[in-house]
Structure 1
């Protein structure tokens, strides 16, 4: 008998004991599954051979159905199991309770198997002992250093130091050694991998005076290459997602050219010669 138990990443990181209620069949306590309380009065059923279960096969039209009916040698019981989730267990780990499955007369009860299913986490991802996280930092911290905080799976807050002079670029990955996931037996920790996203300031955050300071602080712009031939100066614009094929007069003129080509050239509809 197998049951799936959904657990959080915090449960697998810290360990936890949880209770799971099951309904199972057990041997009738007054008769011990014999079907009678009188000593020596037990008679094995010729149909089920004393198993307390009878299987019947019936044909209904073109279909064949199998029915299973149980005698009253067993009764239902609610069983509460304490499931110990050890620190470092993985998704798919099986926890076995020996002999806790349904009971039948003359048969050894089977096992109850609890299968752990890891629930998705909104921040962290796990791969073995390695833990992964995406973190956003402001542009100033990315360029000049600073600090940011991460709340870990055990409730601790990691105050991460970005050393001045270490530039964080978008998509770069850094690690915090020893802050990953523990192993199950020896509780040795892997690393925490952090992939960085950089939050750039908006145009409203930068007035001309601040832009002038940036001009002084940042390296000078690289010179433009020598341009030969026709040079046309253009400006950038935000695309309109509702406009097919782009926006502006250039796209409109291209669309007109395509229509003209479909009609047989720029001179209007083509002239057809009549056959004599």
Structure 2
């Protein structure tokens, strides 16, 4: 019986109202509605779920032990497995209904896990795109085609053409090598490679003269 239900007996214990009539089945229980509406759902228990960028790229399973407490003071433990889908973003919520603590008799909180993206040493995520910075020496930039090898989040290596730069900080875009798009299976964002040119820390007088000679407008 729900704690909000209020039962009262009603009707006569004898049927028909005539002497000698057969007795009825007994008191009838009638449910009297209370003025109180349905119980409000309690606030969920919110917990952060830190996930590496690699795991958000490939997808993974996180197993967590949760402890539930009851009004009696007792507690129980349970292991839950959270399927993190490839492409999920920070702020994604995973809800386990009624797996939290008991807040009133028979009423339990939901548990809500919120994805947090761990910082990465090389890559930065922007939406479905990935950004990475590579460095090239000035001499390589000036002397011909340049390719840089970039290791992806799933361990592959791709060659990126970073030659023919006009200035340091230019970008090269590799289509389809960004983050998976969870709502569109098989589709990915882009990889945006920013190229920083490394300038020599010092030059000798002879090297400076050679540069002036090579790079002077008359020699170009």
TM-score (norm 1): 0.56
Please point out which of 164, 177, 180 is paired with 1:179.
Answer: 177
- CA shift, 1:135, in A, is 1.5
Give 1:195's aligned residue. Answer: 194
Please point out which of 1, 20, 23 is paired with 2:64.
Answer: 20
User: Equivalences for 1:1-276 in 2 at 5 Å?
Assistant: 1-25=45-69, 70=71, 72=72, 75-103=74-102, 106-143=105-142, 144-163=144-163, 166-185=164-183, 186-203=185-202, 208=206, 214=211, 217-220=214-217
Q: Deviations over 1:178-224 (max 9, x none)?
A: 111111122411111122210123436x683x6666556535369xx
Aligned with 2:94: secondary structure? strand
Aligned with 1:12: secondary structure? helix
Counterparts in 2 of 1:123 and 1:95: CA distance versus 1, 3 Å? same
Counterparts in 2 of 1:88 and 1:201: CA distance versus 1, 3 Å? same
Q: Deviations over 1:108-163 (max 9, x none)?
A: 43321111111111211111111111221111332222221111111111222335
> After TM superposition, where is structure 1 displaced by more than 6 Å over at least 4 residues in a row?
none
Structure 2: how far apart are the matches of 1:221 and 1:152? 44
Aligned with 1:10: secondary structure? helix
The number of aligned residues is 173
- CA shift, 1:106, in A, is 4.0
Query: Which has more strand, going by share of residues?
Result: 2
* Contact 1:87–1:187 (CA under 8 A) maintained in structure 2: no
* Contact 2:133–2:194 (CA under 8 A) maintained in structure 1: yes
Counterparts in 2 of 1:221 and 1:201: CA distance versus 1, 3 Å? farther
Point out where structure 2 has 5 or more consecutive residues left out of the alignment.
1-44
- CA shift, 1:173, in A, is 1.8
* Contact 1:22–1:79 (CA under 8 A) maintained in structure 2: yes
Point out where structure 1 has 5 or more consecutive residues left out of the alignment.
27-69, 223-276
Greater Rg, structure 1 or structure 2? 1
